[in-house]
Amino acid sequence: DAEITQSPRHKITETGRQVTLACHQTWNHNNMFWYRQDLGHGLRLIHYSYGVQDTNKGEVSDGYSVSRSNTEDLPLTLESAASSQTSVYFCASSESWDTQYFGPGTRLTVL
């Protein structure tokens, strides 16, 4: 069955380190998204991509970057991790602008 996966599921890192969270989908969806989830804020959009080589900033993009070199993957990089980036991160994908399907999430702790 087609699916969307995220790795790692849990990550603990230190302030200032570079961290990359992986997202992989097998639906061949053009659109991929990264969100963070924090108490009191719901899910907020970090970055998104509408196709290979396309990337765009979302609502809370500072301190994050993405690159899209193929259809299946959209890795999220924290260039220099900060404690404010402790959160749960969700990747999602969709065909065209249809319903988004979410991965299982990655819990990131920055100490």
Interface with another protein in residues 30-59 (CB under 8 A): 31, 33, 35, 40-45, 48, 50, 58-59
Near another protein by CB under 8 A, which window of 13-21, 70-78, 79-87, 94-102?
Answer: 94-102
CA 27 centroid distance within chain: 17
Radius of gyration of the chain (CA): 13
DSSP 29: -
Task: Report the residue number, 14 or 59, with the smaller CB distance to another protein.
Answer: 59
Look at the alpha carbons of 94, 49, 56, 106 in this order and tell me if their dihedral is positive or negative. Answer: positive
Among 60, 85, 94, 110, binds another protein (CB under 8 A): 94
Residue 57 to residues 32, 63, 68, 108: CA-CA distances in angstroms? 12, 11, 13, 20
Tell me, by CB under 8 A, how many residues bind another protein: 25
Using CB under 8 A, list all residues that contact another protein.
31, 33, 35, 40-45, 48, 50, 58-59, 88, 90, 92, 94, 96-97, 99-102, 104-105
